[in-house]
Every structure is written in C-alpha cells, then in structure tokens.
Amino acid sequence: MPKGAYIAPKITRFVIPYAICKRVAEELFFEEFELLVYLKSISNGCLLVDKKIVSSAANFLGCHPKTVKRRLKRLEERNWVGCWKGSGKHIFRAWKELFVVEGIAPFRRGVVFETKHFPNFKAFIVSALIGALAKSQAITEQKMRRAGAPNSAPHQPGVSSKKLFPVACQYIASVFKVALSTASEWKTLGQKAGFLKVEKQLEPFLFVNAKEYKRHKQPGAECLVYRDGAYYFQGIDLITPMLKYRTISPFSWDQKRRGGRGQKPKHIKLDKKLGSSILSIIHFEQEMSRTHNK
C-alpha cells in the first residue's frame, strides 16, 4: 500500500483501450502512463496539478515528487496531457484523443483496469497484451465452431473463458516489437502478478547425454531445459488471461465521462498514412500466430 497522505481515486475502474496499452508497451511508457491513469482517476479530465496533487501522486505511486514532475513533463511533451493557458489547469487527453495523437487505429477491444492493480501496473499492461493474443485464438475458435468449419464441433458447448492457448515468446516479441528476453520477462511478470495463468509444456528428454546433444546443436537443442534433476523439451507455454476484456465502439471511448463526443484536441493532426486498417493488423497477427504457434 502507498505511504503518506494521498487523494484516493474517485473513479475506481477504467476500460483502457488495447491499442493504447500496445503503444505504451512498445514505447516503454509504463511509468508515465501510470501517472496519467492516476490523475484521470482523481479528476474529471481536467485538474490543476499543484504541489498538493504532486505530493499525492508521489505518495500513491511510491516515488519522489520530482519524479512525478518529470513524468508529467514527458506526458506534456508527448501531448498526452495539455494545459489551459491562463488557468494553468492540465487536461488529460481522452482515450479517443490519444488515438489521434499517436496516429493509431481505434481498436474496439479494451481491458478493465481497477485501482487495486496500481501496485502491479506494468504487469497489468503487458498481461493485457499477452492475454489478448490468447483470447483472439478463443474468438477464432468460437467463430469456426459457429460457422461449422472443418475440424470443428458445432454441437459442443462454446469455448471456456479459462481454456489455455499456445502463445510463443517469439510471437509476443514480433507482435509488440520487443526483444525475445523482454517477451519472456513480460510473461513472467504477468504470471507472478496473477494476471496470466501459464502452463508449461514439458516432454522428457529420452537421449542419454543432453549436454552433448546441446553442444552439437541438434534439432530442438535450444528447447532443452533442466528441471528437478532431469532434462526436458520445453514446448510453447499455454496461456489464459485472468483479466476482463470489453468491446466498445471505437468512437464512444470516454463519452460517458465527457457527456458527448467532445472536441478534437488542439494542435493535433491525424496523419492518414498512419491510420492503418484494423483488418490488416488482425491479418498480420493471425499469420504470425500460425507461424510461431505450430
């Protein structure tokens, strides 16, 4: 729990867009985004960030007030936070405004964030992304079953929300443009925080000398792991998210809070070249899934 006096969040639950989580992870913008979410939670989208607010944020997030100021400055530089001239009040961009700022397609999918997740904020963001890869496989399986596709069983009940699906670290790294080691770290973070359920696939190594097998770089040698005094072939981890996902119209983000569609933020222009098709992105992810999850 945070130490010191702080302003408790008034809004205890958000639906954060998947596309925003993806951009935060790709840009390693976790700490700045955590501050933005906290400031949104104690305001109605506009707030004078004075000494009291800075101190409150520092106590709640467990950092120094100077760190809060640095993060706020980076948010302003990226235009995720604006400022009203004269009043000095800060404007916290709505999710749909961030789509425009970043030039990204407004995905319909979002993940439910609650204030109890603040202590594991980074783990929450990366788990939302990894979990979405598993969830997309579940959605595809459901659609195939309903359409009566080959190798499907339409008479059987729907796919369980807790069913595990293979999600390779290589797939995670390629989709979110991170190193393989980072993808593995993200998966471990999510598992430890309880946001991801991960099941290892291990098959006993039947050869006598595992070290020689690895030294000569035989097929599958990179998948050999040592567990409890024996060597095993490690397959792709099976994953299911323990988070809640929501689907919402891409043009209705924040409407409930803002009381309408609101206005386009000033000094923001949408580059049409960056507005890539959602369908093409989904097609890319499906192709990568078939390649790495074989």
Residue 294's pLDDT is what? Answer: 44
Going by C-beta distance under 8 Å and a sequence separation of 6 or more, which residues neighbour residue 194? 242
CATH number of 13-130+243-292: 1.10.10.10
Residue 203's pLDDT is what? Answer: 61
Residue 158's pLDDT is what? Answer: 44
* Alpha carbon distance 175, 79 (integer Å): 25
User: Whose structure tokens read 């369908």?
Assistant: 279
For range 271-279, the mean pLDDT: 34
Residue 256's pLDDT is what? Answer: 46
For range 249-268, the mean pLDDT: 49
pLDDT at 140 over 60: yes
For range 237-252, the mean pLDDT: 84
DSSP label at residue 194: T
Domain extents for the chain? 13-130+243-292, 162-241
Q: How far is CA 176 from the centre of its chain?
A: 10
Per-residue pLDDT band at 214 (split at 50, 70, 90): low
Pairing relationship of beta strands 90-92 and 46-47 according to DSSP bridges: antiparallel
pLDDT at 106 over 70: yes
For the beta carbon of residue 238, count every other beta carbon within 10 angstroms.
16
Per-residue pLDDT band at 231 (split at 50, 70, 90): low
Residue 210's pLDDT is what? Answer: 55
* Alpha carbon distance 109, 18 (integer Å): 6
72 vs 148: which has the higher pLDDT: 72
Tokens of 253: 């983000």
Largest alpha-carbon pair distance within the chain? Answer: 76
195 within 8 A of 241, measured Cβ to Cβ? yes
Per-residue pLDDT band at 138 (split at 50, 70, 90): confident
pLDDT at 96 over 50: yes
Residue 151's pLDDT is what? Answer: 57
pLDDT at 269 over 80: no
pLDDT at 168 over 80: yes
Residue 169's pLDDT is what? Answer: 86
The pLDDT tens digits of the residues spanning 28-76 come to: 999 999 999 999 999 999 999 999 999 999 999 999 999 999 999 999 9
Mean pLDDT of the chain: 78
Residue 159's pLDDT is what? Answer: 43
For range 174-178, the mean pLDDT: 90
For range 12-29, the mean pLDDT: 93
DSSP 222-271: GGEEEETTEEEEE-PPEEEE-S-EEE--TT-TTHHHHTSS--PPTT----
Note the pTM of the prediction, 2 decimals. Answer: 0.74
221 vs 241: which has the higher pLDDT: 241
For range 12-26, the mean pLDDT: 94
pLDDT at 264 over 90: no
For range 196-225, the mean pLDDT: 60
Residue 200's pLDDT is what? Answer: 81
pLDDT at 213 over 60: no
Q: Which of 75, 116, 68 is nearest to 93 (CA)?
A: 75
